[in-house]
Structure 1
């Protein structure tokens, strides 16, 4: 008998066959946010596994609505909106995609940083509208600048390496704990880091512990020549404070791959010329997707075979 797997995020058609051959029946109910319906209109009886992402998750009432659920798989590294207590109370296992998309997200962070610092989207738009000489504004180079990394996990370390080795930047970071194995400068607060940095790149986990970590005080510390890049979670940045800072030019610009209420984009951001927004695509490279879904399938297979999971989420997030 096939095992019903509820998909809250899509699996590329080229990779679906592997799940089907492994004995899973795919029940598609894609969700744009954590307020979308969790089940198709006709229901999904017997669902034993759910594939989701950290920014959508699965809350306690949703878990309760799935009485046969045995495992929740988060496609990427994040799992902040999965109710771990509710899952643990039911003996439901939770997995994540740790290590599968780090390279892709780090690459995207660098693309965003270069694009906003060098004003690439506005320059392209100007040329397409017949403007050449007027569009040739002077913009800062990346090489030799100071970059502050908020969250020095796997992704943060890869971004730091790209900045240091590729652009000869001086690197500093803020993290919950000092990383004894690295020589980069540690700042005890995000505000201290922002004041020091030319570029501030956010790649910390989401969740209650990091909500609005980038607030008015941090943005003020970053200053009128500073740039913000966020490839973490939209909730980490206070959107209202960011809009105000961009409107008043108290920071130079921002590049975001994530938003607080995605896919909804605040109107206050849309009219600004000093921001770049991409639709949460940092992890969407073919290489990352292949690795993520291979890990999901391996964890699912192990779960229903009674074998240890490769990437279990065992503890509650800080």
Structure 2
């Protein structure tokens, strides 16, 4: 008999197929589980799968009295109340590094698309302005990556892969993180110092109370009018109102964003700006990353149901 696992967040059915072949999945389809299942069904649930950014508080854990494991699909776990889980002796696992290469690829893609004004150039061709030889100030030559100073905020698995890819483009890499690492890049003692030095700031730090809105108006001002911001971490790291103002008044030159304060992100003033490149939180959305994340989820669940510590615990 297969063990039952609650699917707490909304996932595409295709992403759950491999996991569903090993466990009996009770899919809440992103709705409150108590709205989808009766108390008798929920009382026996011992493990759940969630997206790391989905809020999961103690009150929800109390709806599942037998819950012993929360397994995050992906590297993030910022939505999970870790203190509440620990108080209830619930183990929390994730998929560390499983999507790091994919996210790093998108970070570099956004950096190139923003700095080289790829969307503006695409529209210049599609609109017929190029064929008509119509002048466009947005098509003025821009600085390339070779020789450009690129700051990486966060030097975990994703940050390291971003830095390596930027170095391959002959960019000069600096970084700031909570601790110094044995990496061949310049270390800065603060985010402010890093922003003051670089002309592209890539956010690759884990979300949490200590990083909430840490990229604010002051940091953006230090980045400067030739500077670009790229965020593939979490929307909460940036004060989005301050970013909109900085982009509108040209405090910074542009941005590439894969994550937002609220998702999914509806069209507004930010989406109307030509100096911003936007993607719908697809950093880890490659075939290889999903297989790797599913491997981690399966390993965590199998370890838990076998009475062993989680294979990939949140530390």
Alignment TM-score > 0.5, same fold: yes
Distance 2:113 2:176 in 1: 24
**Aligned residue runs from structure 1 range 126-275, under 5 A:** 126-132=124-130, 133=133, 134=135, 136-164=139-167, 166-179=168-181, 181-265=182-266, 267-275=268-276
Count matched residues.
Answer: 306
Q: Assess if the C-alpha contact under 8 Å between 2:5 and 2:48 holds in 1.
A: yes
For residues 165-192 of structure 1, the C-alpha deviation after alignment (integer angstroms, 9 at most, x for no partner) is x21111110111111x123111111111
Structure 1 residue 279, shift from structure 2 partner: 0.8
Q: Assess if the C-alpha contact under 8 Å between 2:236 and 2:261 holds in 1.
A: yes
Unaligned segments of structure 2, at least 5 residues:
none
Q: Which residue of 2 aligns with 1:282?
A: 283
> What TM-score does the superposition give when structure 2 sets the normalisation length?
0.92
Structure 1 residue 38, shift from structure 2 partner: 4.4
Distance 2:187 2:303 in 1: 40
Distance 2:264 2:77 in 1: 18
Distance 1:274 1:232 in 2: 20
RMSD of Structure 2 on Structure 1 (CA): 1.7
Q: Which residue of 2 aligns with 1:84?
A: 82
SS of 1:267's partner is coil
Distance 1:113 1:39 in 2: 43
1:2 aligns with 2:2: yes
Q: Which residue of 1 aligns with 2:109?
A: 111
For residues 116-137 of structure 1, the C-alpha deviation after alignment (integer angstroms, 9 at most, x for no partner) is 0111112112322222133543
Distance 2:166 2:197 in 1: 16
Q: Which residue of 1 aligns with 2:61?
A: 63
Distance 2:85 2:12 in 1: 24
Structure 1 residue 241, shift from structure 2 partner: 0.4
Distance 1:76 1:13 in 2: 16
Distance 1:184 1:229 in 2: 19
Runs of 4+ in 1 over 4 A off after TM superposition: none
Q: Which residue of 2 aligns with 1:25?
A: 24
Unaligned segments of structure 1, at least 5 residues:
none
